[in-house]
Amino acid sequence: MHPRQKDAEVYGSGPLESSGWELSAIPTPRPAGYHAPTFQQGPVAGMQLEDIRTLVAGDLKQVDRVIVERLASDVVLVNQISQYIVGAGGKRLRPLSVLLAARACGYKGDRHVEAAAIIEFIHTATLLHDDVVDGSEMRRGRDTANHVFGNQASVLVGDYLYSRSFQMMVSLDDLRIQGVMADATNTIAMGEVLQLMNAHDPETTEERYFEVIYRKTARLFEAGAQMAAILAGASPPIERAMIAYGRHLGTAFQLVDDVLDYRADPQELGKNLGDDLAEGKPTLPVIYALNHAPAAEIARLRTAIEDGGLEDLEAITRTIESAGGLEYTARLAQRERDLAVEALADLPDSAYTQALRALADFAISRTH
Ligand code: IPE
Ligand code: IPE
Ligand code: MG
Ligand code: MG
């Protein structure tokens, strides 16, 4: 079946796990004369990313130790590729959020370290796969693994990391956690496939876009925060609060990622700009511009999405920018950040809870 086919059967209106996104939950387009806020310059809670990391510096070191230990394989190419991508660093935001969430829920043990490493393994597996699917050439400031080692090796090592994360989950010996992670990884896989179905389709709606980003990105943040709450033995309301926090944090994070794909310093971002346009991905900045740009520019935008490619990147970026697509997306990211912070209202106040708030601020103020 062609991936662009969009009938209800393909999308499934039935038992698939849904994010619950509804169009009514999305703010109406900006009124005339409205000036959307630009990104904030730094976390409002006064904590920069480094301060947040410092709070759990010991735990983060342990996470790195576990990652290195668990990567090891007796197959040389597995080690080469996994060390290549993991050694390039990355922001480690997901493990950071797991560590902070566990501590914010009062957890005193050390199993959250393994949980954080599991989340980073899954994230890394999805990156290896995603760069193949997106045909990306730069990641974490380096040539992508697919560019260096080829698509086949990247996909297979992604599978290695995925399955290793499941071995690690078994070692946590908690059936609820295994259930949460099994559902989450399945949802992520569906998200990437849904995205493929939307590719090259200028009719993609905001609703479909939000469904994709919930599944492919927010769900992992959500699962990480939930796993932390479960480890901490948190009450059901607190566990639900952590789920909501992760979901809104992850959504804000991906909205900003989709802005940065058009407006960032590629050196600082560590990725090439225009990867989304190259693959004909109708991300929110484009969807908005398709509904608000002058007619002649809309025609060009439609063609750019249908055909993909980077020939028109500059002109398309100008169109998106002047139609307000980047500001609109940034505004919705800000709203998600607010919802993430609101979700923390019933958590006991602590440095960790404050750091979770600051992490939400980082998600929308980030430039990398
Ligand atoms: C990239 O995530 C993939 C997205 C969901 C946008 P990150 O920006 O967290 O990647 P690293 O781990 O820091 O490289
Ligand atoms: C995130 O989407 C994909 C994953 C969840 C792996 P993107 O395709 O926008 O991520 P980047 O920009 O390649 O990091
Ligand atoms: Mg990508
Ligand atoms: Mg991106």
Tell which phi-psi region holds residue 203, choosing left (phi > 0), alpha (psi between -120 and 50) or beta: alpha
Domain boundaries, the chain: 38-365
Mean pLDDT of 100-125: 98
Pick the CATH number of 38-365 from 3.40.50.1820, 2.40.110.10, 1.10.600.10, 3.10.110.10: 1.10.600.10
Which of 119, 253, 258, 359 to mutate for ligand 1's pocket (most ligand atoms within 8 Å of CB)? 253
Atom of ligand 2 nearest to the CA of 123: 6
Residue 139: strand, helix, or coil: strand
130 CA to centre of ligand 4 in angstroms: 10
Residues contacting ligand 1 via CB (< 6 Å): 90-91, 93, 140, 217, 254, 257
Summarised one tens digit per residue, pLDDT across range 218-268 is: 999 999 999 999 999 999 999 999 999 999 999 999 999 999 999 999 999
**Distance spanning both ends of the chain, measured CA to CA:** 37
233 CA to centre of ligand 2 in angstroms: 32
Summarised one tens digit per residue, pLDDT across range 198-232 is: 999 999 999 999 999 999 999 999 999 999 999 99
Which of 64, 97, 98, 127 to mutate for ligand 1's pocket (most ligand atoms within 8 Å of CB)? 127
